[in-house]
Structure 1
Amino acid sequence: MMSGTPRVFVGATAFLIAGMTSPTDLRAVTAVINGFPGVQVVAADQLTGLVTVTTEQPVNRTDVTAAIVQAGYTVLA
C-alpha cells in the first residue's frame, strides 16, 4: 500500500494488480473483490491491471489486498 493511502475506504479506490493475463484471471480477481460486504462495483481492466472498487460501507484495503494475494496475484499499488 502506498504511503498516505487510507487503510479503510468508502466510495471508490483503485488497485494496480500484476498477473491478470487472461479473462479467467480477470474473473477470479473480480470474484475475490466482490466477495467483500459493501462492495458495489468492480471495474477491472486486464490490459492495464487497474481495478476500481466502489463500496457503500467501509472496507479495509489491507483485507482486500490480502485476498487478492491469496488468490495468486500481486498488488502493486
Structure 2
Amino acid sequence: MTPLDARLLSAHDRGDVAALVALYTEAADQSQSDDAAGFYLTHAMVFALDLGLDVARDLRARLVDMGREHPE
C-alpha cells in the first residue's frame, strides 16, 4: 500500500469528505493511466459536489477534456 492509499483509507474512515476531494485529485494527478485518472477524478468530483465546492466544476472540466464526461 502506498502512503497515498493509506491517507485515502484514513480519510474514508474519518468521513473527512474535504480531504477525500484533495486526495482523490492528488491520486488522479499521479496516475499512470487515463483509466485510473478518470476513476480518481470522478470520485473527487462526486465528493466535491456533495460538499458544494466550486472545484467540482474544474474536476468535471478535466473529465470532459478526457472524454469521460459530456459537455453541457
TM-score (norm 2): 0.30
Decide which structure has the larger Cα Rg and report it: 2
Q: Which has the higher contact order (CA 8 A, sep 6+)?
A: 1
**Bigger helix fraction:** 2
TM-score, with length taken from structure 1: 0.29
The structure where strand makes up a greater share of residues is: 1
